[in-house]
Amino acid sequence: MNKSDNSLKDLKYLLGSMGIDILLAIDKGAKNFETIEILSGVPLACIRGRIPVLIDFELIAKNKEGYFLTEKGLSLKKIIENNS
């Protein structure tokens, strides 16, 4: 395991289960707060608090269509899936 994998694993613990649920909802196609809430089951207040964190950690980004996973976010998703 390289240093990048270790830092991604650390991010997994920093985000917590709700942050991971939001990340996975975005991966499934959620593009805005409403669809993230529907797909993740996470309350809107928690989504509003965690989206800036996911952006700051460069796991997601936003364009005119909505939120999407970055390369770093996709790498974290792979780690999450491999540990499940």
* pLDDT per position as a tens digit, 73-82: 999 999 888 8
Whether the CB-CB separation of 23 and 51 falls below 8 Å is answered with no
47 Cβ neighbours under 8 A, 6+ residues apart: 22, 33, 36, 37, 40
Domain harbouring 37, CATH code: 1.10.10.10
**Total domains in the fold of the chain:** 1
Does residue 11 fall inside a structural domain?
Answer: yes
d(CA 42, CA 39) in angstroms, rounded, equals 8
Does residue 17 fall inside a structural domain?
Answer: yes
* pLDDT per position as a tens digit, 21-71: 999 999 999 999 999 999 999 999 999 999 999 999 999 999 999 999 999
d(CA 44, CA 53) in angstroms, rounded, equals 15
CA angle (11, 16, 19) in 5-degree steps: 85
> Residue 52: which domain range?
3-79
Kindly report the pTM of this predicted structure. 0.89
Does residue 37 fall inside a structural domain?
Answer: yes
Does residue 84 fall inside a structural domain?
Answer: no
